[in-house]
Structures are given as structure tokens and as C-alpha cells.
Amino acid sequence: MNLVQHQLPALILAAGRGERMRPLTDTTPKPLLKVKGKPLIEWHLEALARDGVRHVVINTAYLEDQFPALLGDGARWGLHIDYSMETRDHGGALETAGGIAKALPLLGDAFWVLAGDVFVPGFHFDPLTADGFANSTALAHLWLVSNPAHVPQGDFALADTGHVQRKPASLLHTETFTYSTIGLYRAAMVDGIRVGDKAALRPCLDRAIDAGRLTAQVYTGPWVDVGTPERLAQLNAP
């Protein structure tokens, strides 16, 4: 049996305004800004298709009509793309957990989630890892990275068991990591959030930590949060 044929679907989060990227984002959504000659989101679509994902949902809000106009139905990558349009349906962006909750009818019980504004050219959406997650009791499995200069304190600690822990008040003797914004998620992660609710993801992650149902691994490949014009320029430098 070829497990790649049974890859989980993926949700690309692309609804944000990209305030820190202005003026570049005044006319273009951040995931559609070009990195090394092609829209940032296209790097994700190519990697997902390469690794056997066939169904991708993109949640949109800011300048959302530009996404289907540029990306179409995904056929050029061998994908089927659905759009979860938050401005059209709810008047604006729903934040991360709210965006996941709205997209659930298109995704099913388990799925990949990744932010449309990170550059991770070497990441592999491993179908065996996805299959293992789908058969586990974890609510989510995250990929963490070494803390970049703009997040020196990190987001989480990681136990030897692979379970995510809350960042301690004192970091003196604890190594912390930053969430890469790539993960495998279960629909139950956003239980209680209704379609159309505006809701942040961090409270959901904290509840999963407290229940012992949030796991992670460290990703050591190239990773850039393309959050400022300066970081974008560095990526595009010759």
C-alpha cells in the first residue's frame, strides 16, 4: 500500500493583514509576496503536492479575492484547492483557531496546518508521521524551531517524552523553542469554537498541554518567519 495516496489534507492560514509588512501588503496579501521569484504560498503548495497531499484548504480574509484569482483550483500542482473565505462570510478575519473552526467541514478529523507566511523550503510533510498522528490520542503535533532573534524567549519547552510544556517563568535552566507554525491537528483542538467565532489558538494549545495531548519535534532545517520587509529582502538578496 502506498501511504502517500492517503495523505491528510492541509490547511494553509493566509487570512492575516500583514501590518508589519506594510507598505508591501497594502496591495498584496503577505502569502502572495514573491520569494525567490514566486509567491511565498507557492513554495508550500509545491511541497505539499510533492509529499502526496492532494486536498488543500486556504483560509482568506484580507484582499481574499486575490488568492483564487492567482492560484485557481490547484490543478497546476496536482492539488484540489478549496477557499475558506472569512471576509465574504463573516466580515473579516477570525484569527487562527476561529479560522480552523470555520474550515473544519472541508478538512475532516485530522489535517496539516501551516502558516502561509513562513519560508521552509526543506520541510517534508511526511505521510508516515501524518498517519501515526491520525492514529494517536494527541490533539496536535507541532514542529518547533530554535528561537529566532525576534522571539528570543521562545514559545514552549519540550519534555524528553516529546510532550510540549508551558514555558516556565524562569528560563535559566530550561531550553525553549519557537512554534514554526507547522503542525498536525485534530478537529477536537477547536472544540467549543463556533463557525464565525473570532478565537486565538494559544488557549487551545494550552488546554492540550494541560491534558498531556500536545506533542512536538524539533525542526532544524532553514526556517524564516517572513514578517518584515527586511526579512523578505534578505531572502531575495542575490
Phi and psi (nearest 5°) for 118?
A: -115, 150
Phi and psi (nearest 5°) for 122?
A: -100, 5
Q: How confident is the model at residue 2 (pLDDT cuts 50, 70, 90)?
A: very low
The per-residue pLDDT of the chain, averaged, comes to 92
Closest to 205 (Cα-Cα) out of 163, 175, 153: 163
pLDDT digits (tens, 9 = 90+) for 126-151: 999 999 999 999 999 999 999 988 88
Q: Residues 89-95: what's their mean pLDDT?
A: 94
Residue 199: is its pLDDT beyond 80?
yes
Q: Residues 70-94: what's their mean pLDDT?
A: 96
Distance between CA 194 and CA 48 in Å, rounded?
28
Residue 15: is its pLDDT beyond 90?
yes
**Beta bridge partners of residue 176, listed in sequence order:** 157
Q: What is the pTM of this model?
A: 0.93
Percent of the chain with pLDDT over 90: 81
Residue 209, C-beta contacts closer than 8 angstroms, at least 6 positions apart: 156, 163, 164, 165, 166
* Displacement of CA 169 from its chain's centroid (Å): 27
Are 71 and 22 a contacting pair, CB within 8 Å?
Answer: no
pLDDT digits (tens, 9 = 90+) for 18-56: 788 888 888 999 999 999 999 999 999 999 999 999 999
Structural domains of the chain ordered from first start: 7-236 (3.90.550.10)
Q: How confident is the model at residue 170 (pLDDT cuts 50, 70, 90)?
A: low
